[in-house]
A and B are shown apart, each in its own frame.
Chain A
Amino acid sequence: MNLFSFNRMCRRAARHAPYHPEKFIGEYRQEAGRARPRGNFWPRLATIGGTALVAAAAVAITLCTPLFRERPVTVVPGSDGSLPSGSSSVDILVDVPEQAELLRLEKLWNTLYLVGNTYSPAGQADPQHMMMLLHLLGGTAFQGSIVQGFQDALGDLEASRRLGLGENLDMDGGRRLYCKISLGDANRIAKEYFVGLTFQAEDFPTQYVSDGDETGQWIYDQETDSVYLAIGAVGFANPYNRYIVCQRETEGTLIHYQMVGVYTESEEIQGLDKAESFGEYQETLARLAFSGEAVPSALLDVTIRLTDNGWMAVEEAALTEESGNGEIEEQAMERLKSSSLLKEFQWIGTGSAEKLLWLQDVLREFCPVQPGKEGWSLENVKEDPFGFMDAYFWLLVDLQERDQYLFSYDDPDYRDVVERLSLSVPMSEEEYGVKETQFDLIYRFPLEELNTGIARFFQGIRLAPEDFPTAVPEGYTSERAFVYDAVTGCVYMPCAATGREDPQPLLLICEEEQSQNGRLSYTMLGIEMEYGNEFFRQEDEYATLGVSSRFGDFQQRLWKFAQANPDEILYSAQVTVETSGDRYIIVSLETAPLNSGDADDLQQAKELLEASQSLRAAYGVPAL
């Protein structure tokens, strides 16, 4: 076992860490208490106090009683149905009928979470609408087509098996099918509320594969021509009272979006009405923070990933940018297969321009194109800000490689700039006395020089000061940000103090190959520049964090193709673009037999190895 595998094992073990916050609180609120599954904690905890056993039971019964859901509803804080604006918690009434459900979502949407982005049925292209629609579908399906609720023992077990959930339907760790809605019904609703939006079977995965903590995953079942919502049995498992909403904060010129989960915190029955109080929780796998125009495409990514097979890992790396834990590999290693398409790609370019053209082709072919947009290209980079920012980031890194632009802690202007730009990087007097850092490193790029560099790569693109925010708001959590300082005329790129502080993409090389149990794997080495310009090597799952999110998309697309080619034996593939120096493009491959015979496996492994060697040779990386 190498370190890479060991890390994976550690993280696999980490998934088994007990997690019962809601149970904790629920139990705390129950004076009588229930027996803890094991150990002696819960009985002790139950003795502490708490009240709402009956209420909790009522909540559970209420949520699972269709009859109740069909009752008419009156809006509680106001006859007009208005909601408290700007609050971090919501008091709204739950309505069950389809139309009322939609209205509720609309209120939630318009009033609280998307101020300024008015809900519109014509906004079908907006991924946020799609996301809401999926939840709407969940609520709708809940009424009449429950496959399996908490109270059910088995539900549609056959469908569960077909869709990859197996029989793991226990309360403490399994996933279960919750809602079922025919594709036709889904489209009927979509047509009614979202002009022109049509779901197709291909929009959904056909197997449940992710074991992350996502809210739910829609899976398409060909046999029944239906989509099912599979959700975790842990925590807030009821899709009816659990939503993902997009919380928007504006500060200065920066718009900060964050995915927030909303769950039912308390309920109050008033006659035939039910008032429901919502609390928030952190949707850790769907957190994102991007500035300005980058948001729509990012949200589209989130939406797709929420409804797609295996996106969670990529999403986590790409959008939260906080994983630092190699979830990409962990997921990919488990599920990635190959396709002939992979081998047909022209991995190798000969220069920066050619590589960018290649990148353009890849992005056009594999990345989701925003509605109404042509897709990413060198000519319209601003049409896809998200993709552009990636490329832009590479450019900055490319410039930084010349050691010109690092804004050092020793720089006498450091404190002034940090304060001006609200970067929150207080430095202490002592050498290691950093008390608090929101951002760990800061890169500085004179705008004019930056534009000179950009001109080398992007036709007709010239950045102006107003293209940048002028301050980083408090709490900004993205891995990196771009800020313009009018005083110095420089663009600053602070990088968050995460486990992967250094924004330089790693140079990945294949250090060694290993063959074990018929599996050929390569150990990738990342080379990164540590502080003080010392290079050190680490074989590291962080390597893929150097991959742009767009390449996360790319990777995912490969994955999808792989699933369509079950006979292929490529087990994992990672593509990394190294942007420093001569811009390496490195492919990391791992193969595994899929009952296709050792000879074929070895032949393919050999081909892959040769491809890797060719790639290395093309870029001057020493051969294995």
Chain B
Amino acid sequence: MESSPQRKEFLRLYDTYYKAVYFTALGLVHQPDAAEDCMQEAFLALWKELGKGTVIHNPGGWLLQVARNQGISRLRGLYTLTPLEEAEELSTPGDAATREVEEEAFIHHILAMLPPAERDVFVLHVQGGLKLAEIAKILGIPAATARWRFANARKKLKSVLRLEQEREKGTFLQKG
């Protein structure tokens, strides 16, 4: 389908969902390379389906589910993963990649404290760049619920971050 409408549709879906798919996978497998693999597998599956002329009514949800399935397969031991926290050690201290890895690990650490349902909405919205209404559609929940979950996630994150900050301060004082 090199120049077909399906190809155009594929590109459109890729542009729309690649972040959402990637970060959904990352939330499962906790390792960027593996998450990228999951993402690519999901889009590969989409490519195949579109090539066959399959009509996917909720492509966002479909892609996320495929990515999740891929992530679960990896978690079952089909692949060897390097967790984010350990991946940090693979980088050269002080370089930009290290900082990125550290940040990703921190994000993962913080988001892990959210209930899964709220975390999903937060990740899809903030990192995936999707609108809440679209997220609602993807997840099959009412739009109001998506908004409510997002607001709740924010409230909880605020508390979590404050606690984290206090903890860091405490550690610093102890060292001092």
Chain A partners chain B: yes
Residues of A at under 8 Å CB distance from B? 1-3, 6-7, 9-14, 16-19, 21, 24-25, 28-29, 38-42, 44-45, 48, 51-52, 265-266, 277, 279-282, 284, 322, 324-325, 432-434, 436-437, 440, 497-499, 501, 531, 536, 538-540
Other-chain contact of A322, B100, B131, B165 (Cβ < 8 Å): B131
| A24 close to B165 (CB less than 8 A) | no
B32 to chain A, nearest CB (A): 8
- Whether A538 contacts B154 in the complex (CB less than 8 A), given A25-B7, A498-B133, comes out as yes
Residues of chain A with a CB closer than 8 A to B2's CB: 25, 29, 51-52, 266
| B47 close to A14 (CB less than 8 A) | no
Q: Which of B14-71 contact A (CB under 8 A)?
A: 14-15, 18-19, 22-23, 32-34, 36-37, 39-41, 43-44, 47-48
B82 to chain A, nearest CB (A): 12
**Chain A minimum-CB-distance residue to B20:** A17
| B158 close to A10 (CB less than 8 A) | no
| A538 close to B44 (CB less than 8 A) | no
- Whether A531 contacts B44 in the complex (CB less than 8 A), given A6-B157, A13-B127, comes out as no
8 smallest CB-CB distances across A and B, nearest first, come from A432-B142, A497-B133, A41-B40, A21-B14, A14-B127, A17-B22, A499-B132, A17-B19
| B33 close to A38 (CB less than 8 A) | yes
- Whether A39 contacts B33 in the complex (CB less than 8 A), given A13-B104, A437-B133, comes out as yes
| B107 close to A18 (CB less than 8 A) | no
- Whether A325 contacts B126 in the complex (CB less than 8 A), given A13-B104, A24-B14, A497-B133, comes out as yes
B133 to chain A, nearest CB (A): 4
Residues of chain A with a CB closer than 8 A to B7's CB: 25
Residues of chain A with a CB closer than 8 A to B175's CB: none
- Whether A498 contacts B132 in the complex (CB less than 8 A), given A284-B15, A432-B142, A432-B145, comes out as yes
| B145 close to A1 (CB less than 8 A) | no
- Does B117 reach chain A (CB closer than 8 Å)? no
Bound Cα distance from A52 to B7, whole angstroms: 15
Residues of chain B with a CB closer than 8 A to A325's CB: 125-126, 129
Other-chain contact of A282, B10, B15, B34 (Cβ < 8 Å): B15
Bound Cα distance from A24 to B10, whole angstroms: 10
A327 to chain B, nearest CB (A): 10
Per-residue interface assignment for chain B, residues 116 to 153, with 1 indicating a CB less than 8 Å from any chain A CB and 0 otherwise: 00000000011111011100010000111101001100
- Does B164 reach chain A (CB closer than 8 Å)? yes
Interchain residue pairs with CB less than 8 A apart (28): A2-B162, A7-B126, A10-B107, A12-B103, A13-B104, A14-B19, A16-B104, A18-B39, A21-B14, A21-B18, A24-B43, A24-B47, A25-B2, A25-B11, A28-B47, A41-B41, A44-B44, A45-B44, A48-B44, A51-B2, A265-B3, A279-B8, A324-B125, A432-B142, A440-B133, A499-B132, A499-B133, A531-B144
- Does B110 reach chain A (CB closer than 8 Å)? yes
A330 to chain B, nearest CB (A): 11
B13 to chain A, nearest CB (A): 9
Residues of chain B with a CB closer than 8 A to A7's CB: 126
| A497 close to B145 (CB less than 8 A) | no
| A41 close to B15 (CB less than 8 A) | no
- Whether A41 contacts B143 in the complex (CB less than 8 A), given A17-B18, A282-B15, comes out as no
Other-chain contact of B144, A432, A436, A499 (Cβ < 8 Å): A432
- Whether A433 contacts B142 in the complex (CB less than 8 A), given A24-B43, A39-B37, comes out as yes
- Does B12 reach chain A (CB closer than 8 Å)? yes
**Chain A minimum-CB-distance residue to B12:** A282
A542 to chain B, nearest CB (A): 10
Other-chain contact of B142, A19, A51, A434 (Cβ < 8 Å): A434
- Whether A536 contacts B151 in the complex (CB less than 8 A), given A14-B126, A497-B133, comes out as yes
Other-chain contact of A14, B129, B131, B132 (Cβ < 8 Å): B129
**Chain B minimum-CB-distance residue to A432:** B142
Bound Cα distance from A45 to B43, whole angstroms: 11
Residues of chain B with a CB closer than 8 A to A1's CB: 161, 164-165
Bound Cα distance from A280 to B137, whole angstroms: 26
A436 to chain B, nearest CB (A): 8
Bound Cα distance from A324 to B32, whole angstroms: 25
Bound Cα distance from A323 to B98, whole angstroms: 28
Bound Cα distance from A9 to B110, whole angstroms: 12
| B40 close to A45 (CB less than 8 A) | yes
A526 to chain B, nearest CB (A): 11
| B15 close to A281 (CB less than 8 A) | yes
Bound Cα distance from A24 to B44, whole angstroms: 9
| B103 close to A13 (CB less than 8 A) | yes
B43 to chain A, nearest CB (A): 7
Bound Cα distance from A21 to B12, whole angstroms: 10
Residues of chain B with a CB closer than 8 A to A19's CB: 18
Bound Cα distance from A536 to B147, whole angstroms: 13
| B158 close to A3 (CB less than 8 A) | yes
| B37 close to A266 (CB less than 8 A) | no
| B106 close to A9 (CB less than 8 A) | yes
Residues of chain A with a CB closer than 8 A to B39's CB: 18
Residue in A266, A499, A501, A531 whose Cβ sees the most chain B Cβ within 10 Å: A499
- Whether A324 contacts B161 in the complex (CB less than 8 A), given A265-B3, A279-B8, A440-B143, comes out as no
Residues of chain A with a CB closer than 8 A to B11's CB: 21, 25, 281
Residue in B23, B142, B145 whose Cβ sees the most chain A Cβ within 10 Å: B142
Residues of chain A with a CB closer than 8 A to B145's CB: 432
Other-chain contact of A2, B10, B19, B43, B158 (Cβ < 8 Å): B158
| B36 close to A11 (CB less than 8 A) | no
